[in-house]
A and B are shown apart, each in its own frame.
Chain A
Amino acid sequence: RKEVEQDPGPFNVPEGATVAFNCTYSNSASQSFFWYRQDCRKEPKLLMSVYSSGNEDGRFTAQLNRASQYISLLIRDSKLSDSATYLCVVNLGRRSGGSYIPTFGRGTSLIVHP
């Protein structure tokens, strides 16, 4: 089983739609979670952290379910500019060498059309 798994999509939705992505992780000791957005041929950029209690940033809502080991991202009122790949990131905490090693999912592609 992969450490972090995402449905690659693409999710093809009309403007104004609500769309949700899930991401599952295999290591129950994972400590922190994030969603990144990656535009075509660009670097990933932090979209939002994911907190245990769930958190919202405008049209975006992130949830964490530790019992089932998944995180989710909900986008409401989709815009054309939301078209991108959304990467799930899980941080396992310190390794023996002292560094945190973030593990990325392969990403979920979102296409918002007029």
Chain B
Amino acid sequence: SQTIHQWPATLVQPVGSPLSLECTVEGTSNPNLYWYRQAAGRGLQLLFYSVGIGQISSEVPQNLSASRPQDRQFILSSKKLLLSDSGFYLCAWRRGGLQYRNTIYFGEGSWLTVV
């Protein structure tokens, strides 16, 4: 069966520090992968998505970046965090095929607090 994991689960970072969140998917190949952010009291905002290794599409201009160095690995990074980067970051993968209707599944999430 397919699983998705992301880490770390919680982190507190000072303003201006770098960030790296990692996500891996097991049990499937060539998945579509996504990074979302959920700020306090707000909806899910799509940040990046990837259809394959090295292929990244950005939805929102910001100081974050994403990379996909391997088929089932998706990384979210920042060189210098801002206070406004605080939030709940979620990695997700899409289960393709007509029978699954392109359902997406989320990792456990990473809580980031920038102080």
Interface residues of A (CB under 8 A from B): 32, 34, 41-46, 49, 87, 89, 91, 97-107
Contacts and interface: CB of A to CB of B under 8 A. Distances in A.
Nearest to A104: B44
Interface in B70-108: 88, 90, 94, 101-108
Contact of A100 (B50, B88, B102, B107): B102
B109 A43 contact: yes
Interface string B32-62: 1010100000111010011100010100000
Given A43-B90, A104-B44, A98 B51 contact: yes
Interface of B: 32, 34, 36, 42-44, 46, 49-51, 55, 57, 88, 90, 94, 101-109, 111
Given A44-B44, A97-B51, A34 B103 contact: yes
